[in-house]
C-alpha cells in the first residue's frame, strides 16, 4: 500500500520536556491506527504536529508526498486532514444542525454572502451525517445542553463533513462511561465504515484498541516504542511496562 | 424507541428553510407604512426617524462585527469619512444627488478602512476596541486641524437633488426621510441575507470558537476583515445620510462619544435581529430628544438608566423579544 502520511525525523521539545524524539512513521491509506501511551507520552503532540497546530523543531511530515510541515491548520484541513478533539470543540450557543452547517460552510471553498447556510443541499449533507452518527433526534437542540457523549459524536461528525483522506480522533471515548464506550465506538466505526479513509485515533482503553485498530503505535517519552498489529504490539515488554503497566504489577 | 427515532430521516422543517421572500415582504411593508406615517407626521418626527435610520446604519455595521465577537469603539471614523465625503463632493465637485452621495460616502469609507482590515482582524476584545478608537481619534485630530475641511467648526452643506430634480422647500425633509428609509431598508434586507448566508454563519462560529473554524477549513481573519469592511460601508452610508439631512458636518462625527452612541444602540439591539437595530436607534433618538427637552443637563443619566434596565432585563438586546429561542 502507498503511504498517505509520513513523518521523518520529527522532534519536538517543550523546554526540558521531550514531546517527540526522532519520530519515523509511515501510514498507508485505509489503515486504522491507534496511538497509545501514558499521559505525556507525545500522542497528542504528534496529532497536533500533523494538523499544523504545533510545528516540529526538526523533521518533516508529508501527506500524499507533499510536505505539510510548514502549513497552517486551515491549509492542512483543505488538503484532506480532519480531526476531532479530546474536549469537543463545538459551538455551544448554536443548534446541532447549525454546528453541522458551520462545518459545511467552512468546507465550501467559496463562502457566499447570499447563499443561505440552510439551503437544501447543505441540509441534506448535514442530515445524512447526523443520521449516520445517530444524532438526528438532537438536530434542533442547543449544543450546550447536550451530554458529553453526544458532543463527542457531533465533534467527529463535523470533522467528517469535509470527507477527509485522514481523520484524527483524539481520545474519542474519553469522558464517556465504561458501559457507553463500546456502543459509542460502534457508532463511530459504523459511521466511518462507509468511508474509505485512514483513521488515527488516540486511545487509552486497550480493549477498544484491540477491537478497532488494525495497527498500534505506542509512545513513551516522545518515542515510538512499539509499532505493529495489536496482538504483537500490545504484547511487547515495553508496552506492557510503560503503557499498560502489566509488568510493573507483576 | 430511541433506535427507531434514530433511524427516522430528519426532514428540514419549513421554518428551517430560508425565508428571504418573507423578509423582503416585511421590509417593503415596513417601508410603505413608515412612508405613509411620515407623510402625515410633524417635521420634528420625520427628522427624528431620519436621524435614527441613518445612525442605525452605523450601528448595523457594529452588529456585523459583534456577531463575530468584537465591538469597535471607533465607528465614528467611518461615519465621519462618509459625511465628509458627501459634503466635499457636494461643495467642491458639485455632485448633489441624494442617492449618489450616500453611495460615495460608503465607498470612500471602505477605501480608507480596508487597508486597516488585515491588521485589525488579528485583534480581539479590548485590543480591537481600542485600536478602532485610536483610528477614530486620529481622524478626529486631523479633521480638527485641517482648515480646508473647516477645522473644528466644520462647514455647511446645501440641499441635495434627487435624480436631477431640485427638492421643493415644503417637502425636502420628507423626501430625505424617504431616501434614508429606503437606503436603510435595502441595507437591512441585505444584512439579513448576509447574516443567514454561509459567511454569516461562519461569523457566528468565529465568535464562539475560532480554533474550530480554522480546523474546519474556514479563515477567521478573512471573516473578521470582511466584516470590518462591511461595517465601514454601513458607517459611511450613515454619515452621508446624516449630513444630507443636517446640512452640516463637523469633526465631532469622529469623536469617541459619537462612536459610543453607536455602540450603545448596537448593545441595546443585540446581534440577532436587524430590525432591532433600527428600533434601538429610534429609542435612543426618542430618549435623547425627550430627555433633552425635560432634563436638559441630565439626559445622559436617563440614557444610562435606560441601558441598565435593558441589560438587566434583556441581556441579549431588544431583538431577543422576537427572536427568542433562535440561536442565530
Residues in B closer than 8 angstroms to A107, CB to CB, are 216-217
Is B1 an interface residue toward A (CB < 8 Å)?
Answer: no
Q: Are B211 and A89 a contacting pair at CB < 8 A?
A: yes
What is the span of the domain harbouring residue B86?
Answer: 20-258
- Each residue's pLDDT tens digit, B196-246: 999 999 999 999 999 999 999 999 999 999 999 999 999 999 999 999 999
Under the banding of pLDDT at 50, 70 and 90, the label for residue A248 is low
Q: Which residue has the higher pLDDT, A175 or A18?
A: A18
Model pLDDT, residue B312: 87
Closest in B2, B201, B217 to A78, CB measured: B217
- Return the sign of the alpha-carbon dihedral for residues A28, A29, A30, A35: positive
- Between CA B173 and CA B177 the distance in angstroms is 6
Residues of chain B with confidence (pLDDT) below 50: 1-18
Q: Which strands, in side-by-side order, build the sheet including A17-28?
A: A17-28, A3-14, A58-63, A66-67
- In terms of phi and psi (left: phi > 0; alpha: psi -120 to 50; beta: otherwise), the region of A160 is alpha
As for how many domains chain B has, the answer is 1
Query: Of A91, A107, A120, which has the smallest distance from its Cβ to B217's Cβ?
Result: A107
Q: Of B17, B217, B227, B326, which to mutate for an interface test with A (greatest number of A Cβ within 10 Å)?
A: B217
Distance from CA of B266 to the nearest CA of A (A): 20
Contact status, residue B274 vs residue B195, Cβ threshold 8 Å: yes
Read off the pLDDT of each residue in A67-84 and give the average, rounded to a whole number.
93
> Which ipTM did the prediction report?
0.87
The CA–CA distances, whole Å, from A148 to A88, B16, B207, B241 equal: 8, 26, 22, 51
DSSP for B182-216, please give it.
Answer: HHHHHHHHHHHHHHTBHHHHHHHHHHH-HHHHHHT
The mean pLDDT of A101-108, rounded to a whole number, is 88
CATH of domain A1-71+200-250: 3.40.50.300
In terms of pLDDT, which residue wins out, A101 or A1? A101
- pLDDT classification of A66: cutoffs 50, 70, 90: very high
pLDDT of the residue at B2:
36
Dump pLDDT digits (tens) for A212-235.
999 999 999 999 999 999 989 888
Residue B315 counted as domain residue = no
Residue of chain B with shortest Cα separation from A164: B216
- Report the C-alpha gap between A102 and A25 in whole angstroms: 33
Closest CB to A89 among B17, B197, B209:
B209
pLDDT at A13 over 50: yes
CA distances, B300 to each of B51, B62, B306 (Å): 18, 21, 10
pLDDT of residue B14: 40
B299 touches chain A (CB under 8 A): no
| A108 contacts B12? CB cut-off 8 A | no
Alpha carbons B266 and B317: distance in angstroms, whole number: 8
Chain A residues with CB under 8 Å of B212 CB are 89-91, 158
Q: How far is A154 from chain B (nearest CA, A)?
A: 13
CB-based contact (8 Å) between B6 and chain A?
Answer: yes
3-class DSSP assignment, residue B239:
helix
- In degrees rounded to 5, what are phi and psi of residue A60? -140, 150
Rounded to a whole number of angstroms, the distance from the CA of A229 to the nearest CA of chain B is 30
- Which member of B7, B215, B327 has the closest CB to residue A95? B327
Closest-CA distance, A5 to chain B, in angstroms, reads 18
pLDDT tier for residue A158 given thresholds of 50, 70 and 90? very high
B298 in contact with A, Cβ within 8 Å: no
Residue spans per domain, chain A: 1-71+200-250
Asked whether the beta carbons of residue B18 and residue A112 sit closer than 8 angstroms, the reply is no
Any residues with CB less than 8 A from the CB of A135 and at least 6 apart, and which?
Answer: A96, A150, A153, A154, A157
Residue B66: inside a domain: yes
Choose the most confident range, by mean pLDDT, from A111-115, A155-159, B270-274, B293-297: A155-159
Amino acid at each position: 500500500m502507498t503511504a498517505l502520511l509520513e513523518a521523518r525525523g520529527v522532534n519536538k521539545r517543550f523546554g526540558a520536556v521531550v514531546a517527540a524524539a526522532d519520530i519515523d512513521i509511515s501510514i498507508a491509506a485505509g489503515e486504522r491506527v491507534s496511538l497509545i501511551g501514558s499521559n505525556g507520552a507525545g500522542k497528542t503532540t504528534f496529532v497536533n504536529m500533523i494538523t499544523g497546530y504545533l510545528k516540529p523543531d526538526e523533521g518533516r511530515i508529508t501527506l500524499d508526498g507533499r510536505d505539510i510541515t510548514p502549513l497552517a491548520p486551515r491549509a492542512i484541513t483543505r488538503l484532506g486532514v480532519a480531526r476531532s478533539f479530546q474536549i469537543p470543540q463545538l459551538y455551544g450557543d448554536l443548534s446541532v444542525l447549525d454546528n453541522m452547517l458551520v462545518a459545511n460552510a467552512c468546507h465550501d471553498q467559496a463562502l457566499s454572502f447570499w447563499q443561505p447556510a440552510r439551503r437544501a443541499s447543505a441540509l441534506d449533507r448535514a442530515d445524512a451525517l447526523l443520521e449516520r452518527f445517530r444524532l438526528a433526534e438532537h438536530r434542533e437542540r442547543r449544543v450546550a445542553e447536550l451530554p458529553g457523549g453526544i458532543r463527542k459524536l457531533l465533534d467527529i461528525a463535523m470533522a467528517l463533513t469535509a470527507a477527509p483522506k485522514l481523520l484524527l480522533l483524539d481520545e474519542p471515548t474519553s469522558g464517556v462511561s465504561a458501559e457507553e464506550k463500546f456502543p459509542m465506538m460502534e457508532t463511530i466505526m459504523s459511521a466511518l465504515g462507509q468511508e474509505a479513509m485512514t483513521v488515527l485515533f488516540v486511545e487509552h482503553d486497550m480493549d477498544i484498541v484491540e477491537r478497532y485498530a488494525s495497527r498500534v503505535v505506542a509512545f513513551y517519552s516522545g518515542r515510538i516504542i512499539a509499532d505493529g498489529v495489536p496482538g504483537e504490539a500490545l504484547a511487547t515488554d515495553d508496552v506492557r511496562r510503560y503503557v499498560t503497566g502489566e509488568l510493573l504489577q507483576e | 424507541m430511541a433506535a427507531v427515532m434514530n433511524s427516522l430521516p430528519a426532514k428540514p422543517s419549513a421554518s428551517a428553510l430560508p425565508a428571504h421572500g418573507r423578509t423582503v415582504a416585511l421590509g417593503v411593508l415596513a417601508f410603505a407604512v413608515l412612508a405613509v406615517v411620515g407623510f402625515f407626521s410633524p417635521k420634528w418626527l420625520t427628522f427624528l426617524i431620519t436621524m435614527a435610520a441613518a445612525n442605525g446604519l452605523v450601528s448595523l455595521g457594529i452588529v456585523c462585527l459583534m456577531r463575530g465577537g468584537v465591538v469597535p469603539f471607533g465607528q465614528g471614523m467611518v461615519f465621519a469619512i462618509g459625511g465628509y465625503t458627501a459634503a466635499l463632493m457636494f461643495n467642491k465637485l458639485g455632485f448633489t444627488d441624494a442617492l449618489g452621495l450616500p453611495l460615495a460616502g460608503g465607498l470612500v469609507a471602505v477605501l480608507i478602512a480596508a487597508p486597516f482590515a488585515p491588521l485589525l482582524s488579528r485583534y480581539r476584545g479590548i485590543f480591537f476596541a481600542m485600536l478602532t478608537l485610536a483610528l477614530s481619534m486620529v481622524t478626529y485630530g486631523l479633521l480638527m486641524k485641517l482648515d480646508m475641511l473647516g477645522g473644528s467648526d466644520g462647514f455647511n452643506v446645501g440641499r441635495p437633488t434627487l435624480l436631477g430634480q431640485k427638492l421643493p422647500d415644503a417637502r425636502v425633509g420628507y423626501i430625505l426621510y424617504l431616501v434614508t428609509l429606503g437606503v436603510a431598508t435595502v441595507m437591512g434586507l441585505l444584512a439579513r441575507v448576509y447574516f443567514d448566508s454561509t459567511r454569516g454563519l461562519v461569523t457566528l462560529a468565529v465568535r464562539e470558537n475560532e480554533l474550530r473554524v480554522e480546523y474546519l477549513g474556514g479563515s477567521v481573519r478573512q471573516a473578521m476583515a470582511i466584516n470590518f469592511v462591511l461595517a465601514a460601508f454601513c458607517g459611511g452610508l450613515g454619515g452621508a445620510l446624516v449630513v444630507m439631512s443636517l446640512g452640516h458636518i463637523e469633526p465631532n462625527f469622529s469623536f469617541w462619544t459619537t462612536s459610543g452612541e453607536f455602540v450603545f444602540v448596537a448593545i441595546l439591539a443585540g446581534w440577532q435581529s436587524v430590525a432591532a437595530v433600527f428600533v434601538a436607534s429610534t429609542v435612543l433618538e426618542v430618549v435623547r430628544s425627550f430627555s433633552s427637552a425635560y432634563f436638559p443637563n441630565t439626559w445622559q443619566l436617563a440614557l444610562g438608566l435606560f441601558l441598565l434596565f435593558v441589560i438587566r432585563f434583556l441581556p441579549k438586546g431588544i431583538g431577543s423579544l422576537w427572536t427568542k429561542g433562535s440561536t442565530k
